[in-house]
């Protein structure tokens, strides 16, 4: 891969910015090359940002992004699949904390992991759904295909299904989608039943599925809709598996797989599900290292179980990618007021991340003396070297045109207090207690 691919991506990304394009692109270049900034406004001091510091938040407020064109640009320039492997996609949501942003609209209670066991793992903020290309092998080198905010009127299932419907027709081949546990539900199964994608999702061991119904007896009455139960936590319902395999995992520990085909859930009887059980006897039997795991396979024919055993660990690359987004790339750093401004900043972070992926083979990663030279380069190590290559590539954004000093606020202008917005709690309904008629005993006492 030469520099022409990166230049073509940068040109296509600039065409996706429909308003305040030059300021937004300069801000993205500042994020791509400036390693010293610890806040978004500090990016204005980068040589790549050719405007004054008030233009940073003004660009996020006034800027507009053609998100359909942005998806097409990302797909058109994504890196090729390694030889002998298939393209792996990941879909998951990640929160942006905004507990004290009372003037920010459309906040809800979002899940916040890694808190103490006695703390409530929710906080007020925004949630974003990310559809990414997972790296092989597992690392933080995820490539973003679409990153969209989950509004309070929607949920992760509806937004994720819409992302897939928009992106899948653009892909050159049928991918494999790796999903977390909260996508193993009837709404997701029904919403994605007709999409051209194979899916491997983690599932709860206590979820109940059913085998095909028995043939009709010809007697009067409603026929049986479900066959015998299948529940992972109840071995008596398993029966003989369709296929089994035993071998060794990546850490040379024993692993065994078993699968049961032609199962379904009650609320999606028309969709066939293959249940896969993964057993690792040498695991620590903890939440992060369980001895028994359950998965659902949907889509095309199930590959050999020896190949299925290698798929799901790649999903953890998306978690590593989130860490890169929120730490070096300052994804959760801007103090913006509206969700539209946060969506604009999220698109800029995705643009920067994908440029890092394409620039990886073009530069020599800069490592600190204490960083191992035997490990593959990280996005931050490649980002350290882009300060030299990006000025050589140039920018499609035009130079700023100074307009002089702004007149400022008029004397005597009345500045109103910013509107406060409550935190929207999904699923909560105000139930008024129905007044029961007084009893005979109460009437007699009166």
pLDDT tens-digit readout, 423-438: 998 775 544 444 455 5
Specify whether the CB–CB gap between 191 and 158 falls below 8 A: yes
Closest CA to 391 of 8, 143, 26, 74: 26
Amino acid 17: pLDDT = 95
Please give the Cα distance from 363 to 291 (Å, whole number): 42
**pTM listed for this prediction:** 0.90
Instruction: Report the SS3 class of residue 323.
Output: helix
Amino acid 438: pLDDT = 53
Amino acid 437: pLDDT = 55
CA angle 159, 138, 247 (to 5 degrees): 110
pLDDT tens-digit readout, 351-372: 999 999 999 998 888 999 999 9
Q: Mean of the pLDDT values across residues 372-391?
A: 90
Which pairing describes strands 198-203 and 176-179: parallel, antiparallel, or unpaired? parallel
Positions of E strands within 181-322: 198-203, 208-210, 229-231, 243-248, 254-265, 268-279, 292-298
Instruction: Report the SS3 class of residue 231.
Output: strand
């Amino acid at each position: 891969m030469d520099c022409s691919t990166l230049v073509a991506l940068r040109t296509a990304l600039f065409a996706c910015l429909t308003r305040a394009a030059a300021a937004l692109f300069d801000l993205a270049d500042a994020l791509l090359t400036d390693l010293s900034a610890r806040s978004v406004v500090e990016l204005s001091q980068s040589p790549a940002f050719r405007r004054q510091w008030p233009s940073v938040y003004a660009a996020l407020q006034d800027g507009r992004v053609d998100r359909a064109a942005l998806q097409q640009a990302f797909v058109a320039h994504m890196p090729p699949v390694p030889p002998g492997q298939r393209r792996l996609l990941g879909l998951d949501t990640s929160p942006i904390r905004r507990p004290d942003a009372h003037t920010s609209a459309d906040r809800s209670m979002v899940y916040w992991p890694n808190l103490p066991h006695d703390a409530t793992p929710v906080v007020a903020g925004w949630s974003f759904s990310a559809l990414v290309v997972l790296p092989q092998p597992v690392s933080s080198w995820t490539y973003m295909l679409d990153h969209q905010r989950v509004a309070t009127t929607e949920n992760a299932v509806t937004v994720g299904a819409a992302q897939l419907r928009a992106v899948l027709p653009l892909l050159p081949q049928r991918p494999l989608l790796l999903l977390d546990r909260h996508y193993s539900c009837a709404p997701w199964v029904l919403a994605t039943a007709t999409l051209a994608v194979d899916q491997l999702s983690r599932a709860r061991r206590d979820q109940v599925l059913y085998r095909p119904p028995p043939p009709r007896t010809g007697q009067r009455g409603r026929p049986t809709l479900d066959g015998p139960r299948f529940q992972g936590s109840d071995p008596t319902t398993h029966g003989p598996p369709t296929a089994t395999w035993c071998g060794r995992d990546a850490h040379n520990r024993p692993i065994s797989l078993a699968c049961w085909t032609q199962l379904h859930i009650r609320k999606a009887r028309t969709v066939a599900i293959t249940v896969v059980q993964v057993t690792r006897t040498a695991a620590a039997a903890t939440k992060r290292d369980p001895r028994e795991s359950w998965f659902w396979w949907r889509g095309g024919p199930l590959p050999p179980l020896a190949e299925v055993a290698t798929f799901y660990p790649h999903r953890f690359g998306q978690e590593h990618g989130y860490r890169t987004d929120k730490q070096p790339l300052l994804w959760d750093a801007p103090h913006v007021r509206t969700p539209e401004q946060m969506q604009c900043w999220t698109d800029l972070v995705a643009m920067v991340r994908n440029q890092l992926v394409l620039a990886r083979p073009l530069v020599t990663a800069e490592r600190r003396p204490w960083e191992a030279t035997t490990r593959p380069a990280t996005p931050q190590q490649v980002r350290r070297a882009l300060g030299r290559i990006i000025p050589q590539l140039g920018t499609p954004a035009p130079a700023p045109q100074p307009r002089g000093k702004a007149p400022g606020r008029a004397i005597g202008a009345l500045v109103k207090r910013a509107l406060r917005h409550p935190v929207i709690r999904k699923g909560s309904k105000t139930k008024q207690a129905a007044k029961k008629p007084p009893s005979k005993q109460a009437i007699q006492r009166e």
